């Protein structure tokens, strides 16, 4: 395992200098898919937010002129004072700026089978209050969030609803260092915030191997030809079983088309690794590719696990992959399709999902999603049909819509 970690660091170092959930013993039943949709957390780190090139041109940021000269404590005339996009600025003292956000990620799931009645249930994955404090040095931030709707898996009901609580320090224009409780970068989609997901629910490898928070230290770097995300964590999950294990996560992507400044689109190719030991030893490795060009979006990610570390730890070997295609029919309406595969290599049971979706963007952080999923697996005699109606809303951007 040490050789794998050393190899990963070596690859990141070479690229940098050149360019200055659990492995289930029984495969997860498709009918419990909505339970995975509930387990969410979000992270407002702007470095992690991927944008579509077409949206960058359509949704130009608007200056909040109404609040640009306001000071904290001054009365205003709208209902959105608490969540104004410019935040509250202090002219003196240890705090330079304070921002608050409200984040919502949820929807309604309709489930249908040939010999069963149509069932429906509402799932609110994130009903979250977020805080961002920028200190006077203009380089240090304190970020925390509390998710009122998260279903708890452990006994620490209050602490498990904390989505993140960490200090972030800007090292330079390309790097930040974080310390505290945060989402771990286990794969592309497993480590992505809910607000950046293309579809309502995560892929099967993201649900099984990623989508959790832990406490540790993490370094994110964004360069012209290289992105990386490396972290060392204690192996805990949602403030549970702290300091009873360890975990190393690493993710790196090269950007070979960067020298063309978007002429041929944006391409990322890379890999990820997650190794550690808590209740059991685990290792998860993967590879990915992401491409954006004008109206087109495409991604692919594969992961293999020998024991893994999702929300719960597990043993056994498994692997899976997904591939997504997206195309903007109009400047704000995106058509999506995905193939999603997962296999338990201990018993050869397979689960497959085919998804078609439509997403309407009122703003890059305000969107409405409609997804249809045709799901098949070896534990059910007939396929399952699922319909998701989902919505994302991040509060500061409401001012851009008024």
Q: How does pLDDT run across 71-130, given as a tens digit for each residue? A: 333 333 334 457 777 788 988 899 999 999 888 888 777 776 655 666 666 777 788 999
Specify which of 47-56, 113-122, 244-253, 302-311 reaches the highest per-range mean pLDDT.
Answer: 244-253
**What percent of the chain has a predicted confidence (pLDDT) above 70?**
72
Residues near 393 by Cβ (< 8 Å), separated by ≥ 6? 102, 103, 104, 365, 366
Least confident of 48-52, 245-249, 281-285, 288-292: 48-52
Other CB atoms closer than 10 Å to residue 362's CB: what's the count?
A: 17
pLDDT at 27 > cutoff 70: no
Is the model more confident about 285 or about 381? 285
Question: What local confidence, expressed as pLDDT, does residue 399 receive?
Answer: 39
Half-sphere exposure of 273 (CA within 13 A, CB side): 19
- Global pTM value: 0.79
pLDDT at 68 > cutoff 60: no
Question: What local confidence, expressed as pLDDT, does residue 112 receive?
Answer: 67
Both tokens assigned to 402: 């008024």
- pLDDT classification of 8: cutoffs 50, 70, 90: very low
How many whole angstroms separate alpha carbon 355 and alpha carbon 373? 4
Q: For residues 299-307, give the mean pLDDT.
A: 95
Q: Which residues pair with 284 in a beta bridge?
A: 274, 305
Instruction: Give the per-residue SS3 of the chain.
Output: CHHHHHHHHHHHHHHHHHCCCCCCCCCCCHHHHHHHHHCCCCCCCHHHCCCCHHHHHHCCCCCCHHHCCCCCCCCCCCCCHHHCCCCEECCCCCEEEEEEEEEEEEEEEEEECCCCCCEEEEEEEEEEEEEEEEECCCCEEEEEEEECCCCCCCCCHHHHCEEEEEEEEEEECCEEEEEEEEECCCCCCCCCCHHHCCCCCCCHHHHHHCCCEEEEEEEEEECCCEEEEEEEECCCECCECCCCCEEEEEEEEECCCHHHCCCCCEEEEEEEEEEEECCCEEEEEEEEEEEEECCEEEEEEEEEEEEEECCCEEEEEEEEEEEEEEEECCCCEEEEEEEEEEEECCCCEEEEEEEEEEEEEEECCEEEEEEEEEEEECCCCCCEEEEEEEEEEEHHHHHHHC
Other CB atoms closer than 10 Å to residue 234's CB: what's the count?
A: 17
pLDDT at 62 > cutoff 90: no
Other CB atoms closer than 10 Å to residue 372's CB: what's the count?
A: 14
Q: Which residues pair with 217 in a beta bridge?
A: 179, 232
Is the model more confident about 33 or about 288? 288
Indicate the average pLDDT of the chain.
Answer: 78
Q: Which domains does the chain have, with CATH numbers?
A: 2-45+86-401 (2.40.160.10)
Chain segment 305-361, per-residue pLDDT in tens? 998 777 666 778 999 999 999 999 999 999 999 999 999 998 889 999 999 999 999
- pLDDT classification of 17: cutoffs 50, 70, 90: very low
Instruction: Decide: 276 and 286 in contact? Cβ < 8 Å.
Output: no
Question: What local confidence, expressed as pLDDT, does residue 400 receive?
Answer: 38
Question: What local confidence, expressed as pLDDT, does residue 3 receive?
Answer: 54
pLDDT at 50 > cutoff 60: no
pLDDT at 155 > cutoff 90: no
Per-residue CA distances from 5 to 8, 231, 343 (Å): 5, 12, 26
Question: What local confidence, expressed as pLDDT, does residue 25 receive?
Answer: 28
pLDDT at 11 > cutoff 50: no
Both tokens assigned to 2: 């040490």
Q: For residues 7-30, give the mean pLDDT.
A: 38
Is the model more confident about 351 or about 394? 351
Torsional sign, CA 201, 203, 204, 209 = negative
Question: What local confidence, expressed as pLDDT, does residue 111 receive?
Answer: 73
Both tokens assigned to 346: 């201990």
With CA atoms as reference, report the closest residue to 50 among 276, 348, 281, 324: 324
């Amino acid at each position: 395992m040490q050789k794998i970690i050393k190899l990963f660091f070596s690859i990141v170092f070479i690229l940098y200098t050149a360019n200055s959930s659990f492995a289930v013993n029984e495969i997860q039943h498709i009918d419990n898919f909505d339970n995975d949709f509930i387990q969410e957390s979000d992270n407002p780190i702007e470095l992690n937010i991927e944008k579509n090139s077409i949206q960058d041109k359509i949704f130009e940021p608007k200056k909040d002129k109404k609040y640009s000269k306001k000071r904290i404590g001054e009365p205003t005339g709208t209902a959105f004072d608490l969540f104004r996009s410019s935040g509250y600025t202090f002219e003196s003292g240890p705090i330079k700026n304070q921002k608050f956000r409200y984040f919502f990620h949820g929807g309604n799931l309709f489930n249908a089978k040939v010999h069963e009645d149509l069932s429906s249930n509402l799932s609110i994955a994130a009903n979250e209050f977020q805080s961002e404090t920028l200190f006077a040095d203009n380089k240090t931030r304190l970020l925390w969030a509390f998710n009122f709707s998260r279903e708890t898996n452990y006994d620490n009901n209050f602490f498990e609803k904390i989505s993140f609580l960490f200090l972030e320090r800007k090292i330079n224009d390309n790097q930040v260092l974080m310390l505290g409780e945060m989402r771990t970068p286990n794969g592309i989609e497993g480590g992505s915030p809910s607000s950046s997901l293309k579809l309502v629910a995560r892929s099967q490898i993201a649900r099984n191997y990623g989508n959790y928070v832990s406490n540790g230290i993490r370094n994110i770097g964004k360069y012209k030809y290289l992105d990386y995300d490396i972290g060392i964590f204690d192996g805990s999950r949602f403030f549970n079983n702290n300091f009873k294990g360890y975990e190393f996560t690493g993710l790196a992507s090269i950007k070979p088309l960067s020298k063309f400044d978007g002429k041929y689109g944006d391409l990322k190719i890379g890999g990820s690794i997650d190794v550690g030991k808590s209740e059991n030893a685990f290792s998860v490795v993967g590879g990915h590719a992401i491409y954006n060009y004008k109206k087109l979006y495409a991604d692919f990610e594969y992961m293999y696990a020998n024991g893994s570390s999702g929300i719960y730890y597990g043993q056994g070997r498994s692997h899976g992959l997904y591939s997504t295609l997206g195309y903007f029919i109009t400047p704000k309406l995106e058509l999506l399709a995905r193939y999603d595969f997962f296999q338990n290599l201990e018993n050869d049971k397979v689960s497959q999902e085919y998804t078609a979706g439509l997403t309407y963007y009122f703003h890059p952080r305000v969107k409405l999603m409609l997804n249809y999923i045709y799901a098949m697996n070896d534990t059910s005699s007939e396929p399952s049909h699922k319909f998701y109606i989902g919505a994302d809303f991040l509060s500061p951007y409401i001012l851009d819509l008024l």
